[in-house]
Copies of this chain bind each other. A is one copy, B any other.
Amino acid sequence: MDTIPVAREASDELNDIVEPNDEFLRATEEAEDMPARRRALVVLVSDHHNGAEDDTDRLMTELLIECGFQVDAVVRVKSKKSEIRQAIETAVVGGVDLVLTVGGTGVGPRDRTPDATLTVLDQEVPGIAQALRDSGQACGAVDAVVSRGVSGVSGSTVIVNLASSRAAIRDGMAALPPLVHHVVDELQTYSVH
C-alpha cells in the first residue's frame, strides 16, 4: 500500500506539476470561501501501475477539490481483498467524510473491490451506486453501467466504488457530490446528538 503525497488543498506544489486551467482555479477560489471543507480519501485499486502516464490520482484530486472536498490522501493498493479492506478501514478510523475507490469493479478474478467494501459497510445506500450506473448509461461509460460497485456508510464515512475508465470517473464525479453531501449531512446531524 503506497500513499501518494498529495496537496491537502490546491497547493503550489500541485500547481507546479499540473497546468491549472481557469476553470480549475476559479473553482478552487470559490471553494476557499466555504466554511469547512469535507475530507476525502481516494483508494486506487490496480495491479498495473503505468507510472507517469497514469494521472488518475491527479484527476481525482482535481475533481474532488472542485466539488468542495479536501483530499487527505490518494492511496494505491493491489487488487487484493485484504489490502482494499485495510485501506478503507484506515480511512474510516481516520474520520474522513468520503472514501472513493477507483477500479476493481468488473467480473474478473482480480476484481474484488465491491466484496472488500461490503465487509466494511454498516449499511448500504444503493441509490448512489444506482446513480453512477445511470450516469454511465447516459454518457456511454459501459464499465460504469456493468460495475458491481457498491455504496454505503461505515461509521460516519460515506464509501463509494467507482469504475476505472476516464469516462466512468468523470461522469461519476458529476453525479456524486449532491448525493454524498446529503448523506454526510445526515451523518453529522446524528453524530451531534
Contact = CB atoms under 8 A, between A and B. Distances in A.
Interface of A: 106-110, 123-131, 133-134, 136-137, 142-143, 145-148, 153, 178-179, 182-183, 186-187, 189-190
Q: Is the interface of A mostly helix, strand, loop or mixed?
A: helix
Contact of A125 (B130, B131, B146): B146
Contacts of A109: 190
Contact of A179 (B146, B178, B179): B146
A147 B128 CA distance: 9
Contact of A137 (B129, B134, B142, B186): B134
Contact of A153 (B107, B125, B186, B189): B107
A116 to B, nearest CB: 14
B147 A108 contact: no
Contacts of A133: 126-127, 130-131
Interface centre among A126, A131, A182, A187 (most CB of B within 10 A): A126
